[in-house]
Structure formats: C-alpha cells, structure tokens
Structure 1
Amino acid sequence: MVAIVTGAGSGIGRAVALELSSAGAAVLAVDIDEDAAQETARMTTGTVVSHRADVSKPDEVAEYVAIAVAELGVPDQFFNNAGVAGCNRSIVDMSIDEWSSTLSVNLDGMFYGLKYVLPHMIAAGRGQVVNTGSIASLQGAAKRADYVASKHAVLGLTRTAAAEVREHGVAVNCICPGSTDTPIIGKFRALLARDGQSIPTRGVGDRGMASAEEIARTAAFLLRADVPFLTGAALSVDGGASGQY
C-alpha cells in the first residue's frame, strides 16, 4: 500500500501518517514545514518519506504526486488534509488578502490534490481518498466566513469527485472533525482570545476535544479498500456537537 498525507507535519495529518505507516503503508508525508515532516518520518519504523510542499501552489502539488509515484508507487490512499485556521474577522472587516489566503490552502489545495492524484488512481482502477472538512462544513459561525466557506466547499468538492470517479473503483469521502487537540486549534484559540472569545467545549464525557489519534483512526477506516460502497459521504467526528443547537 502507498499513501500520500498532506499536512503531515503535525496534528491530524501526522497522526494519520503514523496510523497508515503502522498498518504497513509506505507514506509520503507532505508539509509546508520541512522539519516537521521529517520529524513525522522519524517517529515510525515504517517507510515514511518526508517532502516539503505548499499545497496552494499547483506546481508543488504536481511535484509531490510525481515524487510519490516515482519513489513509492501509485498511491492507494490519499489523505488530502493540509489546511489553515483562517483569520477570525467579520465579513466587512476581512481583507481580500485574508480571504484569498485561507481559500488558497483550504480549497485550492484540496482541488489540486484531487486533480493530480486521481488520474493515477483512475488508471489503476482503485483508490481511497479522504478530504479533511470540519464541523464548519456543516454549520456557519460568526467571524469565520473564510474558514466556513472553504470547508463547506470541501464537502461539495468531495461529493462531486466521488460522483466522477466511482465507476473507476475510486472512493472519495470527507471527514468532519469538531474541536481536536492539535496545533491548529491552538492558533484558532489565540485568534479568538484576541477578540475576547473562546472555543465552546462540547464533547464526549468530560472532554471538550478529541485527540488527533481518534480522528486518525476514523480517517484510516475511510481509507480502507474493503468498504467500496462508502463514497461521497461526510463523516462527523465531533462528539455530537454538530447535532446540537
């Protein structure tokens, strides 16, 4: 098995890279932070090759896919995950650059990943893709227009891709985590604190957040080859938060 994981230098991406590696996959761990990607590779005895790429740049996405195919083989699994927290400003206060910066990573990067990975899977007649959405794929939130719009779009992109490739034996699904204990949630918490806000702590039992490893186990399930009829789905992993008013 060959896997590509983006945003693999920390958080959910790192946890998924390690989960897939422990299951025997050869993994290309992609991150904009080269040192972080290398650290992920050092954390396992399996085959994990680190690679630095900015997913908002289509040529760099094409390059990481080409490297994966050349060094490891045609990918069986693709965790299309890299993302940013956004800027936490109202629509009227958000700058054009802030809007574009979030969309370029969270949406354009997802599109480029699908554009360059899917042809290899289609040719092979197999493959599982998981795009990382969010509870924000399912709900709105004040001061989160850039992030919410990008994550809603990821859900639509997932369902469209699933419809396009299902006849080729390729499944495309979306995972929608709620609050998860990762570095990106720390950045989001800092943005909220700047504006006198805090993250709602809605979870299971006495825990307000999931661990990255819990999300990774769910992503790994969606990346299995033996559930081919599970495609075009959005799976919430949010402690029930998206079902609450």
Structure 2
Amino acid sequence: MDQDFSGKVAVVTGGGSGIGEACARLLAARGAHVLVADRDLGGAERVAGDIGGAARAFEVDVADPQACEAMVRAAVEAFGRLDVAVNNAGIGGPQQPTGDYPLDGWASVIAVNLSGVFYCMRAELPAMLESGGGSIVNMASILGTVGFAQSVAYVAAKHGVVGMTKTAAVEYAQRGIRVNSVGPGFIDTPLLAAADPQILAGIGALHPIGRLGRAAEVAELVAFLASDRASNTTGSYLLSDGGYTAL
C-alpha cells in the first residue's frame, strides 16, 4: 500500500517548479492537502491549479521570516492544521573561487538556502505541535557532505541545513515531530536548464548510474520520510544521488 496522506496538510516551499513541484504533486496524489509556496507566484498557481481543490498557491520569500510565518498561517487557515513540511526552496548562486566570491552572492545564498530553512522550521514547528506532531523534510544536497569548487556559499548553506536538521530532530523527537534531510545529486530541474548540454552530459557521467537524477525520484524519498512508514527515522540525511558520493 502506498503512503496515505489522507487528512494531512503539507507545505512545500519552492513548489512551483523542479523538485518542489514533484513533491507537491506526489503528496497531493497520495491524499494530502498542499500549500504550494514559491517566490514565483505564477509557478505556484500553475501547480496548485493542476492539483485542484486539494491545493492552494502562496507567494513566499523564505529569506523573510515574517513571510514564512504568514505561509504557515495560510496553510492552517486554509486546511485547519499542519502535518508535513518540505523546505525545498533554494537558489544556486555565483560560481567563483572562495577568495573572489562576491559578498552579495554569499549573502543571498545564505539568506535563502540556510536562513530560509531555519525561518520555515521556526514557523512550522509550533504549528505541528498544535496539530499533535508531524514530519519536516529539509532539502539539502550532496553538497551537504562534500565540497564543490567555486560554490562556497551553496556548500556552506547545505552543510548547515544538515546540521540544523539533526539539531531540530533531537529537540523534537519526543514531541511527535520527525525532522530529516534529503541530499539530491545533480537533478534535471530548471536550475540546470540553462547549462550547456555537453556540460550536463559530463555532470551526468559523474554519477555511477550514468545520468542526472529526476525530480520525481527525489520526491519519492521525500514522501517516504514524510510518511508514517518512516516512523523510526529522524535526524537522518538520506541521499538520492545516483551513487555520486559513493565514488
């Protein structure tokens, strides 16, 4: 039997495209009501419209703590509770060596990819406690465990997401909330769409399975962690990387 999210309410940030879109669609297909949150309201509205009555769109900039609080309020007002949160919103940032990395690029990547996850959890956790518990899945990356040249801000942020996840998991383990993180490898999403096809082929070859991952594959892992089937799993960092980090 597939995971059953009937009667449960989920928030998915970055839900207007890529991995977030795949997560929102899969959770809804398995019974959840979903608040599709994205900085791109048009993308969120498209996904929510395709899902139908079980979804609502919400415009959010996760780098703004008040916006994250408003997002959680919107989910509770629309659907009555909060059970699942997928903190997926993220940006890529500049590509420069550490000694030349632009300060504004550092600030923007950390604001979205690290502080944004904290702001979301800070808003989500009290709402989940009021609902009797829940599950949070934070989107990290393979770069939450390895380095990658010319990506110091992204790597630092994703390492931080893994650490925050473990900390929150310890704090809330006996209060009915599980907190886990997922580390995708390089996934075929809009973040990579502008790259040269030859470069993408080369990146795909770095994965032992010989290709880029798919958003739907990551969504399956997220749904498992969000479901009651993962009831003994918290504080974990699980990879969906085609074997990239096994090399």
Shorter-chain TM band: over 0.9
**Map of 2:105 onto structure 1:** 98
User: What SS does structure 2 have at the residue aligned with 1:4?
Assistant: strand
CA displacement at 1:122 relative to structure 2: 2.0
The alignment yields a C-alpha RMSD, in angstroms, of 1.7
AA at the equivalent of 2:216: E
Trace 1:1-245 onto structure 2 (pairs within 5 A): 1-187=8-194, 189=195, 199=203, 201-203=205-207, 205=209, 207-244=210-247
AA at the equivalent of 1:185: L
AA at the equivalent of 1:218: L
Distance 1:227 1:85 in 2: 30
Distance 1:36 1:220 in 2: 21
Kindly tell me: are residues 41 and 204 of structure 1, through their superposed partners in 2, closer, same or farther at Cα, counting changes over 3 Å? Answer: farther
User: What SS does structure 2 have at the residue aligned with 1:30?
Assistant: strand
Identity level (%):
38
Unaligned runs of 5+ in 2: 1-7
AA at the equivalent of 2:17: S
Q: Please give the per-residue CA displacement for 1:168-215, whole angstroms capped at 9, x wherever unaligned.
A: 01000000000111001235x36x97xxxx63523354x411111111
User: What SS does structure 1 have at the residue aligned with 2:221?
Assistant: helix
TM-score by length of 2: 0.92
**Map of 2:4 onto structure 1:** none
- Cα contact 2:72–2:127 (8 A) shared by 1: no
CA displacement at 1:46 relative to structure 2: 5.0
